[in-house]
A and B are shown apart, each in its own frame.
Chain A
Amino acid sequence: MLIVIAPGRALRWAPRWPCSPDAVLFDASSGDYWVLSSEGRRVLEWLQAELAVERDLLLSRLSLLTEAAEAMLASLGAAGLLVAMVDGVVTAVPSGVAADD
């Protein structure tokens, strides 16, 4: 299962403001914006660079416990930032343990 940034998004970061761990992310396509934690920022920046990353790899690289990492990916999906792709078909980012893929 691959994780990708939702197609159609045109994302821009606010400047890295000092004294603030949170990052503001803006989508020029829709005017949507989000405030992300530093881990959330890492995920998005990684996906911006790599375009698609295996879900398991993504989870393993986060400095969160597995459940928390899964929940975070799912919430980024629910927020409209990420989608999952299995065999070229787009689906929602799963919340729990994914079926074998």
Chain B
Amino acid sequence: MSGLGVETDRLLAVLRAPASAAALDAAQWSSLVATARACNLIGALADKLQRHGVPAPAAARRHLDGALQLAARQRLSVEWEAHGLQRALGALGVPVVLLKGAAYVMAPPGKHGAAVGRGRMFGDIDVLVPRDALGDVESALMLDGWVSAKADAYDQRYYRDWMHEIPPMTHIRRGTVIDVHHTILPLTARNAPDPAQIIARALPVPGLPALRVPAPEDLLIHSVTHLVHEGELHNGLRDLHDIDGMLHGFGAEPAFWSRLVANAAGNDLAGPLALGLRLAQTVFDSPVPATTLATLDATAAPRWRRGWLPAVYGQALRPPTRADAGTRAAAARSVVYIRSHALRMPLPMLLRHLSVKAWKGLSTRQAETAPSV
């Protein structure tokens, strides 16, 4: 048991051993589906059950099949968006590296292990481009119908000066959101993968010459560092599940682990990576060689070795459905949020940022609109 709560534990147990779901009664199926949805893992659950031929009651199947259909539609949309990026950016001659979900979809078949991203839902598109190409990329996107999603001057400054991206852009017709990054973590962060290396090591995408996907070890490192630095763990369990998929898919190749350790050590990421791998082991029984963890531990900075870190992250991964300020999970989440921002920016700046964000959140909630009918 991972100690994430009864319902979440049951979900994780079914993901680890799908056949066990056959013994559930209607109410337990209800809870399983609801929990999976709350964790953004309903598609992953549906895929697991389908692959293992586990029968579900008809009422539950509607939800599971519906989720798989939605995931399939979204996967097609991601492919279409990739074609759109080729159209918009192809003429620039700049490498455009797809990150996260888009990378799982567009990776060349067979190379990255099909275990990643089955039944996954996709939202925003994330890409990484060379820093000096950022202006040209932004202009080319605007010509293609993308507009900046953040109009507020403070948010514009926050994004451009302190974070690692130009503000997200929305496509004016399709409504898709794209985040264009030039680095992996904010400029002010203390542990940062080297974007130039990621771009250099990236693999081509068949048929779309402007696009790339990160090498497997970089994809994993990005996902892990994103998880442990992320302030809001709304999709934490889903992201950890992606990591589990990658560990299964990439880990079969022995050279993967040595490349992983080499890349992490070279960028001072051994600490976050070790933490992320331990979280995946705890929650999903992910396969990680003991030697890999030992090597990472040896080069990790002391602050990453604090014993309470995995427990706090574990607590914070519980789905935030029954929001209640008194629970351990909510307290853990606020610790993670503050820590994550502390990793990103100096303290006085952090306090100012948090108080502005809180004030803006308050004034947004007070604005009333009628529900759509």
- Chain A contacts to B: CB under 8 angstroms: 6-8, 10, 28-31, 90
> B108 within 8 Å of A by Cβ?
no
Are A29 and B207 interface neighbours, CB within 8 A? no
**Total inter-chain residue pairs, C-beta < 8 Å:** 24
A10 in complex: contacting residue of B76, B82, B174, B207, CB < 8 Å: B76
- Is B79 within 8 A of A8, CB to CB? yes
Quote the shortest CB–CB distance from B274 to chain A (angstroms).
40
Chain A residues positioned under 8 Å from B174 (CB to CB): 30
Q: Which of B73, B79, B80 has most chain A Cβ within 10 Å?
A: B80
Instruction: Looking at the assembled complex, report how far the CB atom of B146 sits from the nearest CB atom of chain A, in whole angstroms.
Output: 15
Whether B207 lies near A7 (C-beta < 8 A) is yes
Check: B87 CB closer than 8 A to any chain A CB.
yes
Which one of B76, B86, B87, B90 contacts A29 once the chains associate, using CB atoms below 8 Å?
Answer: B76
Question: What 0/1 pattern do residues 186 to 226 of B give for CB contact below 8 A with A?
Answer: 00000000000000000000010000000000000000000
Beta-carbon contacts of B151-186 to A below 8 Å, as 1s and 0s? 000000000000000000000001000000000000
Which chain B residues border A7 with CB–CB below 8 Å?
Answer: 83, 86, 207
Query: In this assembly, does B295 line the interface, its C-beta being within 8 Å of a C-beta of chain A?
Result: no
Complexed CA–CA distance, A90 and B90 (Å): 9
What residues make up the interface of B, taking CB atoms closer than 8 Å to A? 73, 76-77, 79-80, 82-84, 86-87, 90, 174, 207
Shortest CB-to-CB span from A77 to chain B, Å, is 12
Scoring A28, A30, A90 by chain B CB atoms within 10 A of each residue's CB, the highest score goes to A30
Besides A8-B80, A8-B82, A29-B80, 13 other CB < 8 A contacts? Answer: A6-B83, A7-B207, A8-B83, A8-B84, A29-B77, A29-B79, A29-B83, A30-B76, A30-B77, A30-B174, A31-B77, A90-B87, A90-B90
Say whether chain B's binding surface is mostly helix, strand, loop, or mixed. helix
Provide a sorted-by-A list of 14 A–B residue pairs whose CB atoms are within 8 angstroms. Answer: A6-B83, A7-B207, A8-B80, A8-B82, A10-B76, A29-B76, A29-B77, A29-B79, A29-B80, A30-B77, A30-B80, A31-B73, A90-B87, A90-B90
Least CB distance from B211 to A in Å reads 12
CA gap between A70 and B284 in the complex, in Å = 59
**Chain B residues with Cβ under 8 A from A30's Cβ?**
76-77, 80, 174
Q: Which residues of B contact A90 (CB under 8 A)?
A: 87, 90
Q: Which residues of B contact A31 (CB under 8 A)?
A: 73, 77
Cα A30 to Cα B87 in complex, Å, equals 15
Measured CA separation A31–B77 after assembly (Å):
8
Which residues of chain B come closer than 8 Å to A8, judged between CB atoms? 79-80, 82-84
Q: How far is the CB of B23 from chain A (nearest CB, A)?
A: 38
Residues in B with CB closer than 8 Å to A6 are 83
Q: In angstroms, how far is the closest chain A Cβ from the Cβ of B88?
A: 11
What CA separation (Å) do A29 and B78 show in the bound complex? Answer: 9
Closest residue to A91 on the B side, CB-wise? B91
Q: Do A28 and B87 touch (CB < 8 A)? A: no
Docked-complex contact B76 and A28, CB < 8 angstroms: yes
Complex Cα spacing A90 to B91, Å: 9
A7-B207 Cα distance, complex, nearest whole Å = 9
**Chain A residue nearest in CB terms to B86:** A7
Set of chain A residues within 8 Å of B80, measured between Cβ atoms: 8, 29-30
Most buried by B among A6, A10, A28, A29: A29
Q: Which 3 residue pairs of A and B lie closest in terms of their CB atoms, listed nearest first?
A: A8-B83, A29-B80, A30-B80
Return A18 CB to nearest CB of chain B, in Å: 31
A30→B74 CA distance, assembly (Å): 9
A80 to B84, CA, bound (A): 10
* Least Cβ–Cβ distance between A76 and chain B, in angstroms: 16
A79 CB, nearest partner CB in chain B, Å: 11
Chain A residue nearest in CB terms to B87: A90
